[in-house]
């Protein structure tokens, strides 16, 4: 067993606004993420570009949201847009302390009016040849939509992740009915971290009083060391989702 561990966090940041869009709290999110100090951060609903807000908010960052959050901590990042509008776009991002070998944004949109994508990055662990696949997910709101996207995700894992290379799949699955395991089945060798360790998926939405299991962390080829739902202050007053954190060791 390797002594090398990797800490992963997934978080839907609601475009940097609090629940109900009452406050712009991206600076608070940045500070809170730094305290967690994950090695890899998977983010959903993060702006790649938004021009209208620069004049509305004095503390709107001059750079893109994922660059603002990554600043001086996560030196490597990838961004894939999946929602485009007149004033900009938002999507998924992966922030990493380790370099990317490659990354690709895969369009899984089921409807033109609801763009979605999977962001698949491959990172290399320091001092080794070990590659780890990181797939950031934000699935649709409708059952048929998610079914199509989960099918594409399963095919992506089968075709692009070699059996001897570890993979972490995490993000906002919008899967409150628990259907994801039908697609991420045993043939893929993928397991959900919280369900494996605690018997059930973590409840992550809404953050003030989480009742729905929307966010997940799945893995293969890694040993789960610990997992945690960050539901206390300040997380309960930031985004409308609760972040999930997991630590793995290399098998």
Q: What is the CATH number of the domain that holds 159?
A: 3.60.10.10
pLDDT tens string 79-97: 998 877 777 778 999 999 9
- Domain residue limits at 182: 5-250
Model confidence band, residue 61 (pLDDT cutoffs 50, 70, 90): confident
Average pLDDT over residues 192-211: 96
Mean pLDDT, the chain, rounded, equals: 91
Check residue 142 and report its DSSP letter: S
Q: For the chain, what is the domain count?
A: 1
Q: How far apart are CA 207 and CA 137, in angstroms?
A: 19
Distances (CA, A) of 196 to 25, 176, 184, 190: 33, 18, 14, 11
Average pLDDT over residues 214-233: 96
To the question of pTM greater than 0.75 for the whole model, the response is yes
pLDDT over threshold 60, residue 123: yes
Check residue 237 and report its DSSP letter: G
Residue 53 pLDDT: 55
pLDDT tens string 178-198: 899 889 877 899 999 999 999
Q: Is 195 helix (H, G, I), strand (E, B) or coil?
A: helix
Average pLDDT over residues 51-67: 76
CB-based contact 222:166 (threshold 8 Å): yes
């Amino acid at each position: 067993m390797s002594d090398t561990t990797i800490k992963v966090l997934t978080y839907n940041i609601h475009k940097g606004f609090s629940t109900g869009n009452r406050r712009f709290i991206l600076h608070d999110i940045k500070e809170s993420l730094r305290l967690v100090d994950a090695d890899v951060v998977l983010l959903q609903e993060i702006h790649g570009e938004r021009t209208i807000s620069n004049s509305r908010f004095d503390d709107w960052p001059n750079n893109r949201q994922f660059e603002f959050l990554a600043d001086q901590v996560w030196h490597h990042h990838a961004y894939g847009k999946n929602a485009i509008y007149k004033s900009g776009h938002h999507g998924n991002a992966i922030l990493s302390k380790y370099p990317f070998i490659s990354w690709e944004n895969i369009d899984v949109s089921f409807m033109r009016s609801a763009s979605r994508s999977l962001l698949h990055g491959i990172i290399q662990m320091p001092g080794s040849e070990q590659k780890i696949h990181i797939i950031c997910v934000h699935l649709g709101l409708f059952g048929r939509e998610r079914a199509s996207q989960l099918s594409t995700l399963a095919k992506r894992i089968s075709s692009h992740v070699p059996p001897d290379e570890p993979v972490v799949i995490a993000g906002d699955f919008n899967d409150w009915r628990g259907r994801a395991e039908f697609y991420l089945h045993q043939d893929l060798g993928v397991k959900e971290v919280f369900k494996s360790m605690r018997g059930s998926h973590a409840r992550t939405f809404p953050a003030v009083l989480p009742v729905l299991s929307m966010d997940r962390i799945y893995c293969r080829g890694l040993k789960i060391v610990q997992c945690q739902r960050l539901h206390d202050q300040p997380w309960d007053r930031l985004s409308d989702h609760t972040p999930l954190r997991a630590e793995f060791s290399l098998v």
